Amino acid sequence: ENQKVEYLNESDLAQETENKSEIKPIDPSALPPPALAAPMKAPDRPDLPGFAPSDFDANEMADVPAKSENQSQYQLSEEDLKLIREDQRLVKSRKPVGNPATLNVFGSGNLTGRSFVFVLDRSKSMGGGGLGVIEAARTELGAAINQLEPHHKFQIVGYHERTVTIAKRQLLLATENNKQLVPTFIRNLAAFGATNHENGLVSAIAFKPDVIVLLTDGGYPELNQSQLKIMKRMAGPKCSIHCVQFGIGALQTQANFMTKLASQNQGSFNYIDVMKWKENQ
């Protein structure tokens, strides 16, 4: 009951109307531009334009138009497709073909790979006037190479001061025709001259095979530490070098250059007492 009630008179209404008339309308052009939204980052999806999946096949893109109304659309020119096909052919050519083979030469143990180079010492001490190993190698290598399948490759390097190979200086496919070249090639390796192990190994490594087998009596001069390091660097991690040493009687020492060469290149070492080996044949 004691609350005080205030009443508006005509002068109060007139004053309020006058105040409202002073408020100006907002001009939209005077407002600051709205903040731009950050562009969305496209997810890493292989179906988005510009993303080349690992199993991309150029043949599947043969129908992509050279020109498109939508210039932002991913597109390949005929020249692009040609380069992609060439790259794919190059990659496929480097892939190993067929299963590897496993051979055993003069009791060397399992030698596994798709390409083999046999390095045969043909110096005087290896011939008929010495150990007579070259004739034995004709039978042994011939039998081993005959186990290879046509997709495998091989080569034989005969060496003394110089080197000689079967036919061209390249790896040969293990076809029947190429296998038949082996016996004649070894039979024609006349044994004479001094020994240069480095020349024989360098020639073999140049073929970039999976497996190298060195067959020698290890005669002087041996490879020194510097030469062994060079052989390891040239062969690389993908090539194994196995050594078969021939002699008469027991092996004199395990600390020779052939044991070191084999151990440094993922290979094996085997010693053959020629007299005992011939008795067992």
pLDDT of amino acid 16: 53
pLDDT of amino acid 6: 55
pLDDT of amino acid 48: 41
- Does residue 121 sit in helix, strand or coil? strand
Cα–Cα dist 176/166, whole Å: 14
- Overall pTM > 0.85: no
pLDDT of amino acid 108: 83
Cα–Cα dist 17/142, whole Å: 119
pLDDT of amino acid 210: 98
Cα–Cα dist 147/152, whole Å: 10
- Strands of 91-247, DSSP E: 101-103, 111-113, 115-121, 153-159, 163-165, 172-173, 211-216, 240-247
Do 128 and 135 meet the contact criterion of CB atoms below 8 Å apart?
A: yes
Which residues, listed in sequence order, are joined to residue 155 by a DSSP beta bridge? 117
**Residues of the chain scoring pLDDT < 70:** 1-76, 90-96
Contacts of 36 (CB under 8 A, 6+ apart): none
| Helical residues (DSSP H) of 221-273, grouped into ranges | 225-235, 257-264
